[in-house]
Amino acid sequence: MRVDPSYITNLVGSLNSTQANAQQLTAELSSGVRVTSLSKDPLAAGQNVLLLNQMQQDDSFTESSSLVTGQLQVADSALGQAVSQLTQAISLATAANNGTMNASNRSSIANQIAGIRAELLTLANSSYQGQYIFAGGKTTSVPFSLSTAGSPATVTYSGDSGVNYLESPNGQKIQLNVPGNQIFAGNGTKSMFAALNSLIADYSTGTLNTTEAVADTTALSDSMNWISQQRVTIDNSITQLSAASTAVSSQQVQLTAAQTNLMQADVADVSTQLAMTETQQTALESVIAQLGSGSLFDKL
C-alpha cells in the first residue's frame, strides 16, 4: 500500500491552523471584539472606519458647540443688560427734555448718563475665555475705546465686521457672533455711543437746545430697538445650536449601537466554535502523537 510521505506534514499544518484559529477565537471571546484585523472581515473593517470618522466629527461638534454656546449666552446676557441700561438712559433724557429742570439738574442727569455710558462700554467690551465677543474677527483686541478729549466725546470701534459660523455634521451653518459695529451702530441713524455722547454734551451746557436733545433721545431709542433686533440673531443661534446638539447626541447613540453590532463578537457562537476547534486540536494532537510513537507502517 502507498503511503503519502507528506501525511504527517499535512497533519502538522492542520494542527497549526487549528491552534491559530483557537487563539483567534479565544482573543475574540476575551475582548468581545469580532473583527480584530482587516483580513478578518475587510468589509466590516471598512464600515467601522466610516463609523469612527462620523463619531469623531460628532465629538468635535459637541465640544465646539459647548464652547460657543457659552459665548453666545454671554453675548445674549450682555445685550439684555445693554437694553436695560438704555431704557434707564432714555427715561433720564426724557425727564431732562421737558423744560422744567434747571442747569444743575441737567448736569446731574449728564453725570448719570455718563455712568450708564461707562456700563455700556464695559458690556460692549465683554469677553469670554479671553476672547472679545463683539470684536468681529479681532477677538484678541479691545473693540471699543472712549475719548473725552472733545465735546461731545467719541467712542472708537477697533474690531472688524467678521462673522464666524459653526457647521454641524449635517451641513447646517450656525452664526456664532454679531460684530460690535453692527450691534451698536444703530440702523442707519446715530450710533448708540454717539447718541449718548451727544446727550451728555446737551445736558452739560448751561443752556439746553431742546430740539437737539429730543433728536438725540430719539436716536438713542432707535439704537436700543436695533440692539434688541440684533439680540434675536444671538437667540436664534442659541436655539439652533441646542437643536443641532440634541440631534448629534441622538446620532452618537445610533452610531455607537451600529458599531457595537458590527464589531461585537457573538459570545455564544464564538464559544461553540472554540469548543469545536479545541476538540479538533486535541484529535489532531492525538493522531500525531500516535504516529510519532512507532513506524508509520505499523499504523496502517
pLDDT tens column, 1-48: 444 556 556 656 665 665 655 555 566 555 555 555 545 666 666 666
Residue 153 has what pLDDT?
95
pLDDT of residue 245: 83
Specify the number of domains making up the chain: 1
- Structural domain boundaries enclosing 62: 54-257
How many Å apart are CA 124 and CA 134, to the nearest integer?
Answer: 6
Q: In the prediction, which pLDDT does 1 show? A: 45
Is 208 exposed, middle or buried (CB count within 10 Å of its CB: 0-12, 13-18, 19+)? Answer: middle
Q: Is the pLDDT of residue 170 over 60?
A: yes
Residues 173-203: pLDDT tens digits? 999 999 999 999 766 678 999 999 999 999 9
Q: 140: buried, middle or exposed (CB in 10 Å: 19+, 13-18, 0-12)?
A: exposed
Residue 161 — pLDDT band, cuts 50, 70, 90? Answer: very high
Q: Indicate whether 30 belongs to any domain.
A: no
132 part of a folded domain: yes
**Does a structural domain hold residue 37?**
no
Q: Are 270 and 28 in contact (CB under 8 A)?
A: yes
Q: Would residue 274 count as lying in a domain?
A: no
Is 294 part of a structural domain of the chain?
no
Half-sphere exposure of 49 (CA within 13 A, CB side): 7
- In a domain? residue 192: yes
Neighbours of 83 (CB within 10 A): 15
**Domain presence at residue 269:** no
pLDDT score of 299: 47
Q: What is the mean pLDDT of residues 159-167?
A: 92
Within a domain: 225: yes
The enclosing domain of 241 has a CATH number of: 1.20.1330.10
